[in-house]
Structure 1
């Protein structure tokens, strides 16, 4: 495997909150918060293309690379079945998502890393049931093998709430000979929704998988919720290379109940990133999650590069 370019660069951007952008800015209905069905519709495909091109344009203008996640956070068996997708249609959707980003990549003169996005089996905000490591392997391996058979550069598992699911995903990626990034989410106190600490989660996954993940990320929490989870003196913190934070300071429970989108303040958001990067200079993969859009990522790019 070749080295991932974001590991040797001072800044790689990512995109922002795809689903919230599509719903609140583009007025597109996304049942079950799933964007992958748009790949089967010409208008939906065009909306996704515009979304990605906007972020790639920011990165190109600012001289950064970019990691783009496929629109497949919910393109796995349980969520797919709810939306009428069988295994064959799901595999096609995952491949189409990669093909869309391959088309985007060829139009930009910067490094564009394509990541096959894997989401949690259940609700990332409500981890009511935890799978075993083997159950997670069985569930996620089909989607991961599909990505491994495409030109995608890696697989990123986003918004994970517990270590058994994360470890099973890493096992599946290793067996598929795919590079993998693990991204946990945290609550307002900096702890995982399952109750453990971020440090313990990273140490456990690394210990169980011989440190197979290329790196770790934290996503779907505000920077001020992530900061308490980090320890600049801890070796495990050096394994965290990326942040994709929420725009809102609300808790996951509050966001679930909210009827309007809290976009926060892009400049304040970017300043929070700058402060975190001052303490943790290894944070080089930076973007957004729920509630963020191109304005947040533009502000982050300005804040950390100049």
Structure 2
């Protein structure tokens, strides 16, 4: 653009109007949902060109390319990963045709993580950013704008990958879930200084929040000298109005707020989701003839280090106790009805027998049961037993998961087992949705984030949680080495102990010990007594993750009722004697609410402990 100063100079000296939303505006015009806007640069370039033209005519002085999601990872969802370079080049060409000598063209690079759980490969993301930026630069943009980064860590990686490729200006915008802070817990003051250090010419805010919330955030932020400020707010918050999801802010309101953003020293003002050419027209009118306002940073009070309070646990957790002595966890699932009288009696007897924790599954086999959080709290209060509740990835979205964990913390239930959860189609409500916002690795990491006093969204909490997190391990697989590698990933994610699926023979005990002996966390070996021959047949042939050896199957053959349960207990005692040669952690699973079976097995363990201790004392 020979008739205008280069973009860096224009941003440093002037006050510029950016453009508005691309994708949401296209959808408002009737583009089918499910079509990725970036691909339209190839299939319908006339549509993209028309949007750019409308924004130019509305007064936009900077046009962003239609490339927010034009990276390999996102395009792969549509089978377009082989067209990364072509989509980016064509998008630049479209914007350039419209801009001519009237506007600058900046290449838009969006966050790849884009609001998902922050679990990503640095090496892969670096390659993706480098690939997209290279295509945009080759096509001839005037600069680059990095947008909608919730996490400063990911934005830093993008800057590190892109800055060495060009001397053109790079603007870097974060998006906030909480006003004034990134999802990974950094204040905007920290984030802006960090972005400048890593090569950003400009920094700012875009998406998620409206103009007033962005203004509020900037009022409390120290902006480094020389850093160009930008703001691309949404048209307010998205809400349901008359049966439709809409953005509330009118174009007139948007223009009014543009003047307020200018007072904060913002040099580039445009719009993000929900904005239209009419919003940008009002911004351009509001800023017409005005000069930029020098940034006047607030004088922030000296911050005292605020350390989230940690409540001290009065009793050792199972993960702590098992390192010193034999520790018994008994699974006793919540009832499927509303009567808890029998359940509480069983919990009381298990506690009297000497269990260290009663663990309650989270709607096991996708079958509806009483809330394990509510029942665990009642058990703790009325029997004194220590509850250890399971949490599945299946039943709650991330909002519900954090809320559930916060509730457990408030109730003093701080020992949990994180599991994936059986799919709903196998349960008693097969039409229910399986959520699975995250997998078990992600959820373990996020629980540990709560232990650091940081919410899932990155918001500091006034207290640190104190969850001890267990993870599940199924040794009854054909390729146990692959299962162990998966288990090691759970340990890396932050698991504190392991609970295995039940095993039914001595050889399996030894094998589990051998493959887990080098893990840095304790293992609780699973044992579930059989209740009948039919029960053994079902477990072996129909229940995933369980194998019953032939000798055990023959021992149970023909047995039923109390006689079968006695045989199941005796078999389990033999397994326990073998297990105690290798493991201090025992995980007993109560079948069909037959708690007397696991109570007797717990007494067997405690009796053996006493005999072993007496033998040691007599030798001394």
TM-score bracket for this pair, using the shorter chain length = 0.7 to 0.9
> What secondary structure, in the 3-state scheme, does the structure 2 residue paired with 1:183 have?
strand
Match of residue 118, structure 2, among 112, 123, 129? 129
Report if aligned partners of 2:235, 2:273 keep a CA contact under 8 Å in 1.
yes
> Counterparts of 1:135 and 1:195 in 2: how far apart (Å)?
24
> Counterparts of 1:237 and 1:166 in 2: how far apart (Å)?
20
Match of residue 65, structure 2, among 65, 70, 85? 70
Query: How much is the aligned-residue C-alpha RMSD, in angstroms?
Result: 2.5
Which residue matches 1:15? 19
Match of residue 215, structure 1, among 194, 202, 223? 202
> What secondary structure, in the 3-state scheme, does the structure 2 residue paired with 1:23 have?
helix
Match of residue 96, structure 1, among 67, 90, 93? 90
Report if aligned partners of 1:263, 1:292 keep a CA contact under 8 Å in 2.
no
Show CA shifts across 1:154-203 (max 9, x none): 11111011112111111222221253210111135232233322221112
Match of residue 80, structure 1, among 70, 75, 91? 75
Paired residues for 1:95-174 under 5 Å: 95-106=89-100, 109-110=101-102, 112-123=103-114, 126-131=115-120, 136-174=125-163
Task: Report the alpha carbon displacement of residue 30 of structure 1 after superposing the two structures with TM.
Answer: 4.6
User: Structure 1 residues 120, 275: closer, same or farther in 2, change over 3 A?
Assistant: same
User: Structure 1 residues 247, 6: closer, same or farther in 2, change over 3 A?
Assistant: same
Which residue matches 1:285? 268
Which residue matches 2:562? none
> Counterparts of 1:285 and 1:138 in 2: how far apart (Å)?
29
> Counterparts of 1:237 and 1:127 in 2: how far apart (Å)?
33
Which residue matches 1:205? 195
Report if aligned partners of 2:188, 2:221 keep a CA contact under 8 Å in 1.
no
Report if aligned partners of 1:21, 1:293 keep a CA contact under 8 Å in 2.
yes
Determine if the alignment matches structure 1 residue 226 to structure 2 residue 214. Answer: yes
Which residue matches 1:181? 171
Paired residues for 1:233-244 under 5 Å: 234-236=222-224, 239-244=227-232
Report if aligned partners of 1:199, 1:229 keep a CA contact under 8 Å in 2.
no
> Counterparts of 1:127 and 1:49 in 2: how far apart (Å)?
31
In structure 2, runs of 5+ residues without a counterpart are 290-620
Which residue matches 1:62? none
Report if aligned partners of 2:232, 2:270 keep a CA contact under 8 Å in 1.
yes
> What secondary structure, in the 3-state scheme, does the structure 1 residue paired with 2:91 have?
helix
Task: Report the alpha carbon displacement of residue 97 of structure 1 after superposing the two structures with TM.
Answer: 0.3
User: Structure 1 residues 303, 103: closer, same or farther in 2, change over 3 A?
Assistant: same
Report if aligned partners of 1:130, 1:165 keep a CA contact under 8 Å in 2.
no
Report if aligned partners of 1:127, 1:161 keep a CA contact under 8 Å in 2.
no
> Counterparts of 1:233 and 1:263 in 2: how far apart (Å)?
26
> Counterparts of 2:6 and 2:273 in 1: how far apart (Å)?
31
Report if aligned partners of 2:19, 2:271 keep a CA contact under 8 Å in 1.
yes
Normalized against structure 1, the TM-score is what?
Answer: 0.83
Match of residue 39, structure 1, among 27, 33, 41? 41
User: Structure 1 residues 233, 37: closer, same or farther in 2, change over 3 A?
Assistant: closer
Determine if the alignment matches structure 1 residue 261 to structure 2 residue 246. Answer: yes
> Counterparts of 2:32 and 2:10 in 1: how far apart (Å)?
33
Task: Report the alpha carbon displacement of residue 263 of structure 1 after superposing the two structures with TM.
Answer: 4.0
Match of residue 196, structure 1, among 183, 186, 192? 186
User: Structure 1 residues 91, 178: closer, same or farther in 2, change over 3 A?
Assistant: farther
> What secondary structure, in the 3-state scheme, does the structure 1 residue paired with 2:247 have?
coil
Task: Report the alpha carbon displacement of residue 133 of structure 1 after superposing the two structures with TM.
Answer: 5.7
Which residue matches 2:259? 274
Which residue matches 2:281? 298
Normalized against structure 2, the TM-score is what?
Answer: 0.43
User: Structure 1 residues 39, 29: closer, same or farther in 2, change over 3 A?
Assistant: same
> Counterparts of 1:291 and 1:17 in 2: how far apart (Å)?
6
> Counterparts of 2:92 and 2:107 in 1: how far apart (Å)?
7
> What secondary structure, in the 3-state scheme, does the structure 2 residue paired with 1:181 have?
strand
Task: Report the alpha carbon displacement of residue 139 of structure 1 after superposing the two structures with TM.
Answer: 2.8
User: Structure 1 residues 85, 229: closer, same or farther in 2, change over 3 A?
Assistant: same
> Counterparts of 2:234 and 2:91 in 1: how far apart (Å)?
23
User: Structure 1 residues 196, 259: closer, same or farther in 2, change over 3 A?
Assistant: farther
